Amino acid sequence: MSRIGKAPITVPKGVDVSIANGLVTVKGTRGTLTQKVDTDITVKMEDEHVVLTRPTDQKRHRALHGLYRSLIANMIKGVSEGYKTEQELVGVGYRATVKGQMLELSLGYSHNINFELPKEIKVTTTSEKGQNPKIQMESADKQLIGMVAAKIRSLRKPEPYKGKGIKFTGEVLRRKAGKSASKK
């Protein structure tokens, strides 16, 4: 059984947590996030901690307990520190440029792809000589930034032979040997 739900969440200075009618609102320097919590799970503020409790040890209640504890902890970390993700474009001629909230990607297709980003995400691109172009994204919402990063990656997934495509920085890809490896 997971013990994640039992751990209290420490609220840092500068972060305001309000709980009303099953809706948890977290305000901080990087923005405001809200999360609706299931009616079975109780959320309370005790001193400088957020504590979640469940009514029984049913499998459903245990699962929701850990889930909502993690979601609220991610919201608190997001509004205080924020989340960052970085992706690399591996391939000849692959480019990325930003115009406002529009990300223009050149990924080897016959056309450029224009990807509109949500207003909650700040994006920058870098392309230094001799290195792969990079896309850096920042946001307070962990779910949103993860979803957008996965959507961008799905536009051109890294292929297993040369590794061309969009990958997360530091991601280890499983590579396959080509046809020439079997001829000996």
Q: Two tokens at 167?
A: 């990958």
Same domain, yes or no: 118 and 62: no
| Cβ 115 vs Cβ 103: under 8 Å | yes
- pLDDT, position 1: 42
Half-sphere exposure of 34 (CA within 13 A, CB side): 7
Q: What is the pTM of this model?
A: 0.88
Same domain, yes or no: 63 and 124: no
| Cβ 134 vs Cβ 125: under 8 Å | yes
Same domain, yes or no: 129 and 108: yes
Identify the domain containing residue 135 by its residue range: 83-168
- pLDDT, position 89: 95
DSSP class of residue 29? T
Same domain, yes or no: 99 and 119: yes
Beta sheet of 113-116, edge-to-edge order: 95-99, 102-106, 113-116
In a domain, 177, yes or no: no
Q: Which CATH number fits the domain that encloses residue 116?
A: 3.90.930.12
pLDDT in tens, the chain (184 residues): 468 889 999 999 999 999 998 899 999 999 999 999 999 999 999 989 999 999 999 999 999 999 999 999 999 999 999 999 999 999 999 999 999 999 999 999 999 999 999 999 999 999 999 999 999 999 999 999 999 999 999 999 999 999 899 999 998 989 998 887 666 5
Same domain, yes or no: 75 and 119: no
In a domain, 179, yes or no: no
Domain total in the chain: 2
| Cβ 177 vs Cβ 153: under 8 Å | no
